[in-house]
Amino acid sequence: MTSQLIPVDPFDFVIFGGTGDLSERKLLPALYYRQSQFSEPTRIIGASRAKLSDAEFREFARKAIREHVKESDVKEDELKKFLERLFYISVDAVSGEGFSKLKKALGDSDTIRAFYLAVAPSLFGEISHKLKENGLISPSSRIVVEKPIGRDLASARALNDQIGADFGEHQIFRIDHYLGKETVQNLMALRFGNMLYEPLWNSAHIDHVQITVAETVGLEDRVTYYDKAGALRDMVQNHILQLLCLVAMEAPSSMDANAVRDEKLKVLHALKRINGAEAPKSTVRGQYRAGASAGGPVKGYLDELGNPDSTTETFVAIKAEIANWRWAGVPFYLRTGKRLASRVSEIVIELKPIPHSIFGDNAGRIQPNQLVIRLQPDEGVKQWIMSKDPGPGGMRLRHVALDMSFAATFQERNPDAYERLIMDVIRGNQTLFMRRDEVEAAWKWIDPIFNAWADSRQEVQGYTAGTWGPSASIALIERDGRTWHES
Ligand code: BG6
């Protein structure tokens, strides 16, 4: 079966922060790729403080497409058509200048309107209110916001209140781009499109779960944001907890947005709080020191930052537990970090050992079955099983993988997460977006970890760039007689 491009209704897509980094690297290229799904008339309107003409914005977009879309995918006639749908309006979110112009441009029609806020979260409330005051919000309008949604529960609530004062929850699309990744959506296909796994998917058969999101990059020009956030806020509160939810949730009754989000929410509510006394045993905070990464020497975090006093964590490992019937007693080991040994995101489901071996000592060690879901790169699924070593020598067993590589199995291009997510915004499908209560439930679990770190004065531990993080992270899992899966 080949992929299908289902046309969407005509829409106006307004990008606040239209000349920013996200617009350049992700939004404009994603829109370009999906142009063949558009119906006419569809317009993309860049909106930011800079004073630009339509022609200048089009030139910005041309460069963005040339730089961020694969060369063979850029066709001159399609690019020309794409650029013709681009317009630009200078808008100042603080003074309100430009909103009336935007209103005039959008007119009174009930065409779908998506307001994408690719700006600092401190401007979310301001922009949302100005849209309302200027009569720009129609029943078919939607607003799209990116993380970080707050830096703790209180600030997330405040942000949600601000936007919620102007838009209904069904109009608010909170992006977690991990949910747009093909391999992450495939988690649901794997779990709920097969009979094979469900009977085993519980504490009777699963020993533990590991979720790793490792990166080799460092600060990447995001000094101010990252040092205020740190790995727990930047990666765990959103991406990693979303992955955990997809692994742990009950089968929703359908792919309906609320059916799926209700189930994820139950998992978040069932996460056991990590309090002050437990934090040193169940969590590790790390910060990279100078080392080697991606083929060359790299500076330590503090040097890269230019502040010797920062205690921001660039690495976190957590032993999480879900207090419900399905998962009681099954640890979920989570880890993420910058400047690690390699870039890999994967989920490992390790089953319990067999209860008794019939094979004797010559068979070698009978290792537990593992299901390894590789989200990126080299996307695929490996199921590790014991198999007989061929040939003479008696019954010797070997751990081998049934290996399904996405690239080898599917010929289609692997689309970027933003392509799918933007089209879902236009369709009004919220399945892959975070509902308000999910975001807040995630903070409810994260906040106590920060408090525990502060109360117990749990120090940030150094690790050499290019390694797998602090030794305490290895100890965290090895204390339980387990090891991190070698990627
Ligand atoms: C972002 C984080 O949400 O996700 C970044 O803010 C991180 O720090 C990025 O690098 C990772 O995304 P991906 O798609 O490259 O795995």
Q: Cite the DSSP H helix spans in 310-435.
A: 406-409, 417-427
Q: Whose CA is nearest to atom 6 of ligand 1?
A: 234
Delimit the CATH 3.30.360.10 region(s) of the chain.
179-478
State the maximum Cα–Cα separation within the chain, in Å, rounded to a whole number. 82
Residue to mutate (ligand 1; options 219, 239, 346; most atoms within 8 A of CB): 239
Q: State which ligand 1 atom lies nearest to the alpha carbon of 222.
A: 8
Q: State which ligand 1 atom lies nearest to the alpha carbon of 238.
A: 3
Q: State which ligand 1 atom lies nearest to the alpha carbon of 213.
A: 16
**Which residues does residue 382 pair with via DSSP β-bridges, in sequence order?**
372, 403
Residue to mutate (ligand 1; options 25, 178, 181, 213; most atoms within 8 A of CB): 178
Q: Whose CA is nearest to atom 9 of ligand 1?
A: 235
Q: Check if the beta carbon of residue 43 is closer than 8 Å to that of residue 87.
A: yes
List residues near ligand 1 (CB under 6 A).
215, 234, 345
CA distance 318 to 316: 7
Please give the pLDDT value at position 295: 79
Please give the pLDDT value at position 108: 87
Q: Check if the beta carbon of residue 148 is closer than 8 Å to that of residue 233.
A: yes
Q: State which ligand 1 atom lies nearest to the alpha carbon of 225.
A: 6
Sheet holding 206-214, edge to edge: 397-405, 380-388, 370-376, 344-351, 206-214, 332-337, 315-320, 283-289, 461-464
For residue 342, give the nearest of 400, 292, 403 by alpha carbon.
292
Residue to mutate (ligand 1; options 68, 184, 234, 379; most atoms within 8 A of CB): 234
CA distance 250 to 271: 14
Q: State which ligand 1 atom lies nearest to the alpha carbon of 217.
A: 10
**pTM reported for the whole predicted model:** 0.96
Please give the pLDDT value at position 58: 98
Task: Give 103 Cα–ligand 1 centroid separation in angstroms.
Answer: 34
β strands within 23-85, DSSP E? 43-48
CATH of 11-146, one of 3.40.50.720, 3.40.50.360, 3.30.2010.10, 3.40.630.30: 3.40.50.720
pLDDT string in tens for the chain (487-residue length)? 456 788 999 999 999 999 999 999 999 999 999 999 999 999 999 999 999 999 999 999 999 999 999 999 999 999 999 999 999 999 999 999 999 999 999 998 889 999 999 999 999 999 999 999 999 999 999 999 998 899 999 999 999 999 999 999 999 999 999 999 999 999 999 999 999 999 999 999 999 999 999 999 999 888 889 999 999 999 999 999 999 999 999 999 999 999 999 999 999 999 999 988 899 999 999 999 999 987 789 999 999 999 999 999 999 999 999 999 999 999 999 999 999 999 999 999 999 999 999 998 889 999 999 999 999 998 999 999 999 999 888 899 999 999 999 888 988 888 999 999 999 999 999 999 999 999 999 999 999 999 999 888 888 999 999 999 999 999 999 999 999 998 7
Residue to mutate (ligand 1; options 145, 185, 235, 304; most atoms within 8 A of CB): 235
Q: Under CATH, what is the fold of the domain 179-478?
A: Dihydrodipicolinate Reductase; domain 2 (3.30.360)
Q: Whose CA is nearest to atom 2 of ligand 1?
A: 234
Q: Whose CA is nearest to atom 5 of ligand 1?
A: 234
Task: Give 91 Cα–ligand 1 centroid separation in angstroms.
Answer: 28
Delimit the CATH 3.40.50.720 region(s) of the chain.
11-146
Instruction: Take residue 81 and report the two structure tokens written for it.
Output: 């058509």
Please give the pLDDT value at position 293: 84
Q: State which ligand 1 atom lies nearest to the alpha carbon of 239.
A: 3
Task: Give 400 Cα–ligand 1 centroid separation in angstroms.
Answer: 32
392 φ/ψ angles, rounded to the nearest 5 degrees? -70, 175
Please give the pLDDT value at position 486: 85
Task: Give 414 Cα–ligand 1 centroid separation in angstroms.
Answer: 17
Q: Whose CA is nearest to atom 14 of ligand 1?
A: 178
Task: Give 69 Cα–ligand 1 centroid separation in angstroms.
Answer: 19
- Site of tokens 């601000």: 162
Task: Give 148 Cα–ligand 1 centroid separation in angstroms.
Answer: 12
Task: Give 15 Cα–ligand 1 centroid separation in angstroms.
Answer: 20
CA distance 266 to 37: 35
Task: Give 235 Cα–ligand 1 centroid separation in angstroms.
Answer: 7
Question: Does residue 239 carry a catalytic annotation?
Answer: yes
Please give the pLDDT value at position 2: 55
Give the active site residue among 239, 356, 399, 485.
239
